[in-house]
């Protein structure tokens, strides 16, 4: 099966340090082997090129890990490799995940010259004590400096990442963090509730009883407070974790939520061709070894059944403001109590009239997303 992919995700695993909450596939080290990494990406793209048939890309996303750790030279080398195998449209969204400490005038100039036109900046908090606890390298003032450097260098499109619901003992002022984020006037903000993953420093602290998760009521309070503050400042809460100024939705991530095909390259990267989801081997060293031997670094794959696709369509529909079209009167009857509780609302997409056949979650509903998606999926399967 050949697919004209229009979206490409490239996983760059390098980090200066593992954050306390992180369970991603990363490679920590003082020296970043950017040349060897670019060569391995070249090998993977060459090995898979005959099968992937990329159309001109609408979005290209460098995630990680910390892609900005590649620096000026590393990003330039990586884009030279990419340009040998794929092309992108003139108005493509080309995003680089960056940490504040890596955003320098020289790096910004090189990234822009390579083709980057948007940054996703990992701020996480504006509180130094919280940043230290998270094992972040930057301090609170670095975010404002990074934004200023990026803007002065011509990279004006950027998103900020923040984490909410951190443990109570940190005494983090969530309202202050929102104030600081809004003062930087990003066109996009992503918010993620802190979760405890077992194979992380945070997971070990939690297992030893040294850290207690934020209670559900504070998680809910901070999520709803962010919704109110950011919407009041003109941002659209267009997906459960994402806010954007008008016309500034993240196009790459939106492709995931629409369930369209995308290509994944790099260690642990996932891809989807419309029928099968595949993923690469997780560890950077194992990924390189497979490529050096001339083998596809595939770690596994899953062919989605009709039932899988139906379940995903329910979940993806509920997590965005575009909503979910209901397919049966039985489902409509299930929804009515949720409407009365204020968890969902009837809505219409552009060009549609409002009817009791399309719903979208309210912020209160997004806090119950998993349970509601499971209920609707069960209805569809009967």
Helix pair angle (284-292, 34-52), 10° resolution? 60
Q: What is the model's pLDDT at position 326?
A: 82
Query: What are the structural domain ranges in the chain?
Result: 7-258, 307-380
- The token pair at 41 is 């990406």
Q: What is the model's pLDDT at position 347?
A: 84
pLDDT, greater one: 330 or 167: 167
The answer for residues whose C-beta is within 8 angstroms of residue 345's C-beta and 6 or more apart is 339, 359, 360, 362
Q: What is the model's pLDDT at position 353?
A: 55
Q: What is the model's pLDDT at position 349?
A: 61
C-alpha 307/C-alpha 313 separation (Å) is 10
Mean pLDDT calculated for residue range 19-41: 94
DSSP letters of 180-216?
HHHHT--SEEEEEE----TTSHHHHHHHTTS--PPPH
The class level of CATH for 7-258 reads alpha beta
* Chain CA centroid to CA 82, Å: 21
Does 7-258 match 307-380 in CATH topology? Answer: no
C-alpha 102/C-alpha 67 separation (Å) is 10
Residue among 10, 12, 85, 17 at smallest CA distance from 47: 85
Q: pLDDT tens digits, residue range 274-316?
A: 999 999 999 999 999 999 999 999 999 999 998 889 899 999 9
Mean pLDDT calculated for residue range 256-276: 95
* Chain CA centroid to CA 274, Å: 20
Q: What is the model's pLDDT at position 358?
A: 84
CATH of the domain spanning 307-380? 1.10.10
- The token pair at 225 is 């407070």
Confidence of residue 266 (pLDDT cuts 50, 70, 90): very high
- The token pair at 5 is 């992919």
Confidence of residue 193 (pLDDT cuts 50, 70, 90): very high
């Amino acid at each position: 099966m050949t697919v004209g992919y229009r979206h490409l995700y490239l996983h760059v695993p390098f980090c200066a340090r593992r954050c306390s909450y992180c369970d991603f596939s990363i490679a920590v080290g003082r020296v970043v082997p950017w040349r060897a990494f670019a060569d391995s990406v070249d090998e993977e793209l060459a090995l898979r090129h005959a099968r992937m048939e990329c159309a001109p890309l609408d979005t290209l996303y460098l995630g990680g890990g910390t892609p900005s750790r590649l620096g000026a030279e590393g990003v330039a080398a990586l884009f030279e490799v990419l340009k040998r195998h794929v092309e992108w449209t003139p108005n493509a969204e080309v995003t680089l995940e960056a940490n504040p400490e890596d955003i320098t005038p020289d790096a910004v100039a090189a990234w822009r010259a390579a083709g980057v036109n948007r940054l996703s900046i990992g701020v996480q908090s504006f509180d130094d004590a919280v940043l230290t606890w998270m094992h972040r390298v930057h301090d609170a003032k670095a975010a404002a400096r990074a934004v200023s450097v990026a803007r002065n260098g011509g990279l004006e499109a950027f998103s900020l990442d923040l984490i909410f619901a951190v443990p109570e003992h940190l005494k983090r002022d969530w309202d202050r963090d929102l104030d600081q984020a809004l003062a930087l006037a990003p066109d996009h903000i992503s918010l993620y509730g802190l979760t405890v993953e077992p194979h992380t420093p945070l997971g070990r602290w939690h297992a030893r009883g040294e850290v207690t998760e934020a209670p559900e009521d504070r998680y809910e309070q901070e999520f709803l407070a962010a919704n109110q503050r950011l919407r009041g400042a003109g941002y659209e809460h267009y997906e459960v974790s994402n806010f954007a100024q008008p016309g500034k939705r993240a196009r790459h991530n939106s492709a995931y939520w629409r369930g369209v095909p995308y290509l994944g390259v790099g260690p642990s990267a996932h891809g989807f061709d419309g029928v099968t989801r595949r993923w690469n081997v997780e560890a950077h060293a194992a990924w390189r070894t497979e490529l050096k031997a001339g083998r596809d670094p595939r770690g596994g794959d899953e062919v989605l059944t009709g039932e899988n696709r139906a379940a995903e369509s329910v979940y993806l529909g509920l997590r965005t403001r575009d909503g979910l079209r209901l397919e049966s009167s039985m489902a409509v009857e299930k929804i009515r109590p949720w409407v009365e509780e204020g968890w969902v609302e009837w809505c219409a997409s552009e060009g549609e009239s409002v009817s009791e056949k399309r719903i979208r979650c309210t912020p209160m509903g997004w806090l119950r997303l998993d349970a509601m998606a499971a209920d609707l999926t069960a209805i569809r399967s009967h």
